[in-house]
Amino acid sequence: GEDVEQSLFLSVREGDSSVINCTYTDSSSTYLYWYKQEPGAGLQLLTYIFSNMDMKQDQRLTVLLNKKDKHLSLRIADTQTGDSAIYFCAESISTSGYSTLTFGKGTMLLVSP
Amino acid sequence: GAVVSQHPSRVICKSGTSVKIECRSLDFQATTMFWYRQFPKQSLMLMATSNEGSKATYEQGVEKDKFLINHASLTLSTLTVTSAHPEDSSFYICSAREHRGSFEAFFGQGTRLTVV
């Protein structure tokens, strides 16, 4: 089945690290993604990880993947107020020759000064 | 990254009228485009997938006669909400992939539809 779960809300202070967690159920996922959505806007791809990787680092972002537990996390180092947004985890599942994305409900990150 | 332009960003229409939303890939050819609907504080729900030159594949529960999707060219897909009702008010987002099997989808900025 396809089900992506995320915690709904996270509040941190500026300068701290943020960790947003996600669990998924489909073990055939090929790619897992993190998207950022600012108010009233579309989605911006932040980073992605291929399913045979354990970790990916990209500047302030670190993605950890535990495939056995189907757990994905996004760590944002030195969180800034501009990082306040909704973060969506998504898994990519291939069907009929193309892949579709299944999204979690999103985690609202609030960064206070 | 690649750019997907969605137009209009906001639209208000009267109940019973139809509204067309355009999704364009500006610097790449999109063989596959996706239409999502997002309710407040909820995730994106995939409505349909369209491949250029063929009929769209609708997700279960999405009325194909109500949400008409056309993907006539490699750079343009349109979603027409026909005979709109207030319950159709929502945030609609399109995304596009350059080719089948591509891992990356690029998203438009979304359209806020309000039906009064």
**Best CA proximity match to A64, nearest among A89, A38, A92:** A89
How many angstroms separate the CA atoms of B116 and A33, rounded? 36
Phi, psi of A81 (to 5 degrees): -60, -30
Is the CB of residue A40 less than 8 Å away from at least one CB of chain B?
A: yes
How far does the CA of residue B46 sit from the closest CA of chain A (Å)? Answer: 8
How far does the CA of residue B66 sit from the closest CA of chain A (Å)? Answer: 22
A92 → closest Cβ in B43, B51, B103: B103
pLDDT tens-place string over residues B43-62: 788 899 888 778 899 999 99
A43 → closest Cβ in B32, B93, B101: B93
Element holding B47 (H helix, E strand):
strand B44-51
Contacts of B102 (CB under 8 A, 6+ apart): none
Element holding A84 (H helix, E strand):
none
How many angstroms separate the CA atoms of B27 and B13, rounded? 31
Instruction: Decide: B30 and B77 in contact? Cβ < 8 Å.
Output: yes
Is the CB of residue B29 less than 8 Å away from at least one CB of chain A?
A: no
Is the CB of residue A60 less than 8 Å away from at least one CB of chain B?
A: no
Is the CB of residue A94 less than 8 Å away from at least one CB of chain B?
A: yes
The one-digit pLDDT tens for each residue of chain B (116 residues) are 678 999 999 999 999 999 999 999 998 888 889 999 988 777 788 899 888 778 899 999 999 999 999 988 889 999 999 999 999 999 999 999 887 656 678 889 899 999 99
Is the CB of residue B100 less than 8 Å away from at least one CB of chain A?
A: yes
The one-digit pLDDT tens for each residue of chain A (113 residues) are 458 899 889 999 999 999 999 999 877 777 899 999 888 777 888 998 988 899 999 999 999 999 999 999 999 999 999 999 999 999 887 665 566 788 888 999 999 99
Is the CB of residue A45 less than 8 Å away from at least one CB of chain B?
A: yes
CB–CB of B43 and A99 under 8 A? no
Instruction: Decide: A90 and A99 in contact? Cβ < 8 Å.
Output: no
Is the CB of residue B34 less than 8 Å away from at least one CB of chain A?
A: yes
**Count of pairs with CB atoms under 8 A, one residue in A, one in B:** 60
Residues from chain A that touch B51, judged by Cβ atoms under 8 A, are 98
| Lookup: tokens for B59 | 């997700």
